[in-house]
Amino acid sequence: MFTNGKLKLLIGLLVGGVIVVATACGGDDDVAEPVIIRETVIVEVEVKGDEVIVERTVIVTEKGDTVEVVVTATPVAMAPEVVADLIKAPDPQTPAGTAVIAVGGTTLGSENGLGQAQSPDGLKNVGIGETLFRRAPDDSTLNWLANDFTISPDLSKATVKIQTGVPFQIVDGNDFGDMTAADVAFSMNDANSITTPESIHGQAGDFAGLWGEWVAIDDETIEFNFNAYDSTWKDDYVNQSGQAFNVFSKRAFDEMGIDWVRDHIVATGPYQVEEWLRDESYTIVNRPGTHWLAELEPKTERIQIVQVSEPTTRLSLLRNGQVDMAHLEPK
């Protein structure tokens, strides 16, 4: 016998040959009758884990070299295939109405709403912050805080039109009003090392290589000159799916000061920070009212992001129902 689904052959001769010989009696019209050999062969075959006995009746005509095969299949019961037990979803231990997500890494950091102080780019990816463009499911570019743009024919300058009626989050009871082009220009210039040399924003150097100062022409219009035109500028450096920036409130910076905005995020996303424990976790909550972009209105009231550096610990927390989602290492 062979294993692992390979063909298994067990051949036994069950019926002896029956030989009938006719001899010629004379004359040219007499032809010797063919010798007929009849035999039954049993072949045992394993197909995808099931064994089947195949009975073959073989009739061979020697003279005419004719072979006729009649096949009859007789199934033989096999032991059922062993299937690994499925992992059942645990009973959740997390608070009702809160999605708890375990993430890896060691750089969760602290609440930071100042671009030059390395406020994290990822705020735009978790619903706290927003930027100019975003990516559609078909990979095309969608407007976000921008609603239009034009590029000069010589590729030296861009004009970007900004959405209106977009409110900033109310933080610690402070209402900083609606976003304008001045907030967008401030946020980019604060992150760009060519306009803010002390900036340690993650893309400070990239921005410096792309463009100079952004200028708000009016409440809805921004202009800037390219230092070196890059056709991916709107798909990467000012896009949710790229290495971009978040738009923060210039009024919060002007009224509350640099130290306050370094520790408080005032952005336009559908979620805002409820609590942030440095390098441990942060909790975001659906801000009051309806988000200005209806399709981004949250479906979960509260989300807690927990930093768990060890992959096996994240898996254990997920299996025990202590978190609802986790970043897992691929195998």
Domain extents for the chain? Answer: 1-83, 105-307
CATH number for the domain whose boundaries are 105-307: 3.40.190.10
Whole-angstrom Cα distance, residue 158 to residue 184?
14
How would you write the pLDDT of the chain (331 residues) with one tens digit per residue? 444 444 443 333 333 333 333 334 444 555 555 555 555 555 555 555 555 555 555 555 555 555 555 555 556 666 677 766 676 788 888 989 899 999 998 888 889 999 999 998 899 999 999 999 999 999 999 999 999 999 999 999 999 999 999 999 999 999 999 999 999 999 999 999 999 999 999 999 999 999 999 999 999 999 999 999 999 999 999 999 999 999 999 999 999 999 999 999 999 999 999 999 999 999 999 999 999 999 999 999 999 999 999 999 999 999 999 999 999 988 7
Whole-angstrom Cα distance, residue 156 to residue 80?
71
Q: How many CB atoms lie within 10 A of CB 152?
A: 13
User: How far is residue 270 from each of residues 132, 167, 218, 254, measured CA to CA in Å?
Assistant: 15, 10, 26, 23
Burial of 64 (0-12, 13-18, 19+ CB in 10 A): exposed
Tokens of 185: 């220009």
Q: List b or e across 254-291, with b for residues whose CB sees 16 or more CB atoms inside 10 angstroms.
A: eebeeebbbebbbbbbbbbbeebeeeebbbbbbbeeeb
The whole-model pTM stands at 0.73
Determine contact, residues 54/73, Cβ cutoff 8 Å. yes
Tokens of 44: 């045992």
Whole-angstrom Cα distance, residue 271 to residue 286?
5
